[in-house]
Amino acid sequence: MTAEAAPANAGFASLDALVRPRSVAIIGASDEPARIGGRPIAYMKERGFQGELWPVNPKRATVQGLPAFASVEALPSAPDVAIIAVPADNAIATLDSLGQKGCRAVIVFSAGFAEMDEAGAEAQERLTAVARRHGIRMLGPNCLGVFNDAIRFYGTFTASFEKGFPIPGRIGIASQSGAYGTHVFAAALDRGLGAPVVITTGNEAEVALGDVIGWMAQAPEVDVICAYAEGIRESRQFIAALDLARRNRKPIVMMKVGRSQLGGAAAKSHTASIAGDDTVTQAVLDEFGVVRARTTEEMLDIAYAATKKIYPARNTLGVLTVSGGAGVLISDAAEQAGVEMPPMPEAAQERLRQLVPFCAPRNPVDCTAQVTNNLPLIGEFAESVARDGGYTSILSFWTQTAASRSVGPSLKEQMRKVRAAYPDRLWVMSMLAPDKVREYEADGWICFEDPSRAVTAIEAMGRFGAAFARAEQPAPEVPLPQVTLPEATPSEAVAKALLAEAGVPAVPEHACSDSEAAVMAAEKIGYPVVLKILSPDILHKSEIGGVLLDITDADAVKHGFATLLERAKHHAPSARIEGVLVAKQIPTRGEGGAVEMALGVFRDPVFGPVAMVGLGGIFIEVLKDVSFRRCPFDAAEAERMIRSLKGAPLLDGARGRPKADVAALAKALSALSAFAAAAGPRLTSIDVNPMLVLPEGQGCYAADAVIELEGGSH
């Protein structure tokens, strides 16, 4: 599978029959409301589904008071959607009958397919083939189904509704796991959050998570999307869905599990899905501004805040508090989350000190408990934070004060007026007033008991805003070079030549077949030089002592040449030796020394070629300070990747070093991504390490490069 972008709509509306049906057939319908084949009928009858309900049960004349049909063939017409609740052995024949009837969408409750064993996987392939032959959109198998309370459609057998049906709201839940998807729904219900649309995908034999997210991205019923994923099976629809949601300003908060090796194995056994490389998935989510939640609580916190539809593109946080301690706590949380907290202007700080001499008005703005002696001061402080501070997000900490009989009513009214005067800001309140939350929310507030959780939600709103702002800009065109790969994995010299032609410059070097040629090359390049064994079969030269540094004269070149050949013969006797590579040695220490970086590409089985940048040399494996992005991308995106590294200050002149040529590095990284995108599926990986970045204006050079091709060496 590849990572090419799909068309913007990508056929997502074809899921309408699954989620907005006017007629529903239930194959394997049960007269018992608590059974799997009975729950959908019971729920839709109780909720008042306005469409047609057609139970199919050859043993009964009626099911739960509705006329029953003996077979699919006996149905009065093709249903918009059919629910298959029969044993796995009968599911394929049932699906075929539905296809012949003209049904275009099915929900397969039946289990016993790819989640079980190899025989189940083969049966699932046959099931999928039938669905595709008839042009049927198939949810499942092994799924819990779907519900859409907007039309009272309940194509699910979840028991979650025993504690309550959905309340009005704009949150949609897309989940590969049925049990966990409905768990999120139930948790949202407990918090008073409306999630009336839930779609679970199960084994994803035909409809996958990307299809469901894409449907929600264009559906008027949904403003905020919560997604649960164990592994991404298909990239084209998934990427198109994330892109559509971003362009439609619909935030996605995703819980992607399977981070650990153990978690990845559990995910595969549960849904027979490919967990994939979590790092790559994270890079794709970052690309489209999807916020990843670590817990269910965090997912719902973020979804709750997102329902206000205020997403600051450049997020700055102003804090108003009656507690200095809470201000420190919030500041720590903001720094950890990466939310900027600029100080209040000096003039504004001085005005606030005149109002309350003991206040600390920098940011956090601690108005202290003194304001309770003069309640109108609350409004003046809040007004100053909004007007003078200009913050896009404002968090006020009032603890129990918000619910107190003496202060609460005045505080609520003054804060309501200020919030109403600045409706474009994200207004958040931290308070202990459970019986007052609905009142504050009615005034437009987002309310949290824990201020640290509030900061996490605020940071997420900023990430959404930044992603939505990027989507408003036209996507840059990244021209792809003409790439002709060799038949087999090339030597370092050939690899660097291929990359240099594509725009990834290499250090000056010459491939030499004898020591005399090596001496001539060294004197042409200028000492000192580096000598490397040159062989397409020895990709990791340093492991056999195949690299010699600080070669300063002709005698050292001759001796080094012989040494490298001897080491290659000893450590890799069957390797093909093409000679020795003589390269200019670029200093990495002292004034004007280069910064060692690393560039790379690897082919992900789901998302295709993915590029990497990080600190070079040994640090890449020790520190793992790296950034990833799907290929291809332009130089501006490449620079964003570089700037996101924790080690980025090394490139900006840390400890008195000159600034490195970041622009040249970004250009080379973008060129590498274009090369990888153009190279095709035979390209397995590229390693450029170190990439030596010289001071600003002097460029960067690949000192080593490895290109690995499918099938390896011949």
pLDDT in tens, 73-124: 999 999 999 999 999 999 999 999 999 999 999 999 999 999 999 999 999 9
Residues sharing a CB contact under 8 Å with residue 406, sequence separation 6 or more, in sequence order: 372
Q: Give the pLDDT mean for 701-707.
A: 93
Query: In which element (H, E) is residue 414 found?
Result: helix 408-421
Cα end-to-end distance, the chain, whole Å = 26
What's the per-residue H, E or C state across 279-342? HHHHHHHHHCCCEECCCHHHHHHHHHHHCCCCCCCCCEEEEEECCHHHHHHHHHHHHHHCCECC
Question: DSSP letter at 649?
Answer: G
Split at pLDDT 50, 70, 90, the class of 619 is low
Handedness of CA 491, 494, 498, 500 (dihedral sign): positive
Give the whole-angstrom CA distance, residue 158 versus residue 145: 8
Mean pLDDT of the chain: 92
Residue 644: is its pLDDT beyond 70? yes
**So what's the pLDDT on residue 372?**
79
Give the whole-angstrom CA distance, residue 248 versus residue 585: 52
**So what's the pLDDT on residue 270?**
33
**So what's the pLDDT on residue 481?**
94
- If we measure between CA atoms, which residue out of 414, 437, 444, 435 comes closest to residue 320? 414
**So what's the pLDDT on residue 259?**
66
Cβ neighbours of 71 (radius 10 Å): 13
Pairing state between β 608-615 and 291-292: unpaired
**So what's the pLDDT on residue 682?**
95
Domains along the chain with CATH numbers: 12-306 (3.40.50.261), 317-471 (3.40.50.261), 508-584 (3.30.1490.20), 595-709 (3.30.470.20)
Per-residue DSSP letters for 182-197? HHHHHHHHHTT----E
Residues sharing a CB contact under 8 Å with residue 649, sequence separation 6 or more, in sequence order: none
CB 281 within 8 A of CB 256: yes
Q: Give the pLDDT mean for 444-456.
A: 96
Give the whole-angstrom CA distance, residue 327 versus residue 451: 9
**So what's the pLDDT on residue 265?**
47
Residue 152: is its pLDDT beyond 60? yes
Range with the poorest average pLDDT among 213-217, 261-265, 332-336, 344-348:
261-265
One-letter amino acid identity for 117? D
Give the whole-angstrom CA distance, residue 499 versus residue 487: 16
To the nearest 10°, report the CA torsion of 323, 325, 330, 336. Answer: 170
* Ramachandran region, residue 321 (left: φ > 0; alpha: ψ -120 to 50; beta: rest): beta
Three-state DSSP at 692 gives strand
pLDDT 10s digits, 409-419? 999 999 999 99
**So what's the pLDDT on residue 271?**
29
Range with the poorest average pLDDT among 338-352, 462-476, 515-529:
462-476
Split at pLDDT 50, 70, 90, the class of 261 is low
**So what's the pLDDT on residue 618?**
65
Per-residue DSSP letters for 82-128? EEE-S-HHHHHHHHHHHHHHT--EEEE----STTT-HHHHHHHHHHH
Q: Give the pLDDT mean for 339-353.
A: 98
Q: Which residue has the higher pLDDT, 454 or 401?
A: 454
Token pair 């840390």 in the structure block, residue: 654
**So what's the pLDDT on residue 37?**
98
Residue 1: is its pLDDT beyond 60? no
**So what's the pLDDT on residue 678?**
97
Per cent of the chain over pLDDT 90 is: 82
- If we measure between CA atoms, which residue out of 626, 577, 607 comes closest to residue 676? 607
Residue 8: is its pLDDT beyond 70? no
Q: Give the pLDDT mean for 692-711.
A: 93
Whole-model pTM: value is 0.90
Q: Give the pLDDT mean for 669-674.
A: 98
Q: Give the pLDDT mean for 529-551.
A: 91
Per cent of the chain over pLDDT 70 is: 94
Residue 465: is its pLDDT beyond 80? yes
| Angle in degrees, 0-180, between the axes of helices 451-471 and 296-306, rounded to the nearest 10 | 60
In terms of Cβ atoms closer than 10 Å to its own Cβ (0-12, 13-18, 19+), residue 558 is middle
Tokens in use for 5? 């972008």
**So what's the pLDDT on residue 320?**
97
**So what's the pLDDT on residue 267?**
44
**So what's the pLDDT on residue 260?**
55
Tokens in use for 270? 């549960």
CB 175 within 8 A of CB 184: yes
Give the whole-angstrom CA distance, residue 693 versus residue 97: 65
Tokens in use for 584? 């200019």
Split at pLDDT 50, 70, 90, the class of 67 is very high
**So what's the pLDDT on residue 90?**
96
Tokens in use for 3? 């990572």
Residue 262: is its pLDDT beyond 50? no
pLDDT 10s digits, 547-603? 999 999 999 999 999 999 999 999 999 999 999 999 999 988 777 789 999 999 999
pLDDT 10s digits, 279-301? 889 999 999 999 999 999 999 99
Range with the poorest average pLDDT among 182-196, 233-247, 265-279:
265-279
What's the per-residue H, E or C state across 51-75? CEEEEECCCCCEECCEECECCCCCC
Instruction: Give the Å distances, CA to CA, from 142 to 39, 156, 192, 234, 300.
Output: 16, 12, 29, 18, 26
**So what's the pLDDT on residue 712?**
60
